[in-house]
Chain A
């Protein structure tokens, strides 16, 4: 397995980061909705610590992936249709925007709400803003809009990967696997 990406292959760091992020996001979304719906309880507070911890991990992984992409290359798209290629690029760009916007809007929400956070009960997350009720509501709304967008784009992303694999029968899903 090669490390750097090439014109036709993903290197192992890109693959690993992709699937780690995938697993985390698939846990993170239902976890967030479930914790939000719970009435105040010890479980709710614990689940939010997990939610914030996983969110910060996604942010870190997204930053690493962006850096890896910028300093290297990525394999060529397999779509022959230029519009589909464009749409795929747009979806990937939006996924990156959301992988950054979601953790940051969550971070602002918890900071503005005056709630301290120890990630995984180990590392203190510094507040990025002071207490501010109006900012808290705004950031929480942005967080919600972003997660709806993320769900929609993930459906498109996963749907497109499955279409490539099962209908077009190309190697797009295989080349992301190990």
Chain B
């Protein structure tokens, strides 16, 4: 009887939320950004990243910065340099939530910290969560300041040529962890 209750409580927890992980297939999950280049937006994306989510408890995002692509060979080379992402020293960026708040129907806010280029800053990630049977779609948008993370050497500090604000957006297909 005790085991039955435990089992039921375990499964009910799974149904209520449970643990989720991003689908690594690139076409199903996207993490992209847009930044001004001489006053017009150009786009970039991170081809490799993973999202782990424990429903309404914890969000963890790990981004392989070296997978960045801005659709131009010269720019792709330049942004890997020490002035920008400095991927030799800082290959990964990690967001880890301290708290998940429900802010509306299927709308949440993950408050936490983003570690990027070796600098940790408080960041709030708003996201909407649309579950279906055994997958869910997680989408959201936020604006980061590249200067908070020392991205762009001092000569680029004015933001006149390359904007300071970076609009990040994500649309991730989340898969439920199979019960072990």
| A residues adjacent to B (C-beta < 8 A) | 40-42, 45-46, 49, 113-118, 121, 124, 131, 133
Contacts and interface: CB of A to CB of B under 8 A. Distances in A.
Contacts of B74: 113
B42 interface: yes
Given A115-B37, A116-B41, A121-B39, 20 more contacts: A40-B78, A42-B156, A42-B158, A45-B37, A45-B162, A46-B38, A46-B160, A46-B161, A49-B38, A114-B70, A114-B75, A116-B37, A116-B40, A116-B42, A117-B38, A117-B40, A118-B39, A118-B40, A131-B71, A133-B73
A45 B42 contact: no
A114 B161 contact: no
Contacts of B162: 45
30 contacts: A40-B78, A41-B155, A42-B155, A42-B158, A42-B160, A45-B38, A45-B161, A46-B38, A46-B161, A49-B38, A113-B74, A114-B42, A114-B70, A114-B72, A114-B75, A115-B42, A115-B72, A116-B37, A116-B38, A116-B40, A116-B41, A116-B42, A117-B38, A117-B40, A118-B38, A118-B39, A118-B40, A121-B38, A131-B71, A131-B72
A25 to B, nearest CB: 23
Interface of B: 37-42, 70-75, 78, 155-156, 158, 160-162
A116 B37 CA distance: 7
Contacts of B75: 114
Nearest to A113: B72
Contacts of A124: 40
Q: Which of A49, A114, A121, A131 has the most CB atoms of chain B within a 10 A radius of its CB?
A: A114
A112 to B, nearest CB: 9
Contacts of B78: 40
Nearest to A122: B39
Nearest to B83: A40
A68 B72 CA distance: 40
A115 B78 CA distance: 14
A41 B78 CA distance: 10
Contacts of A40: 78
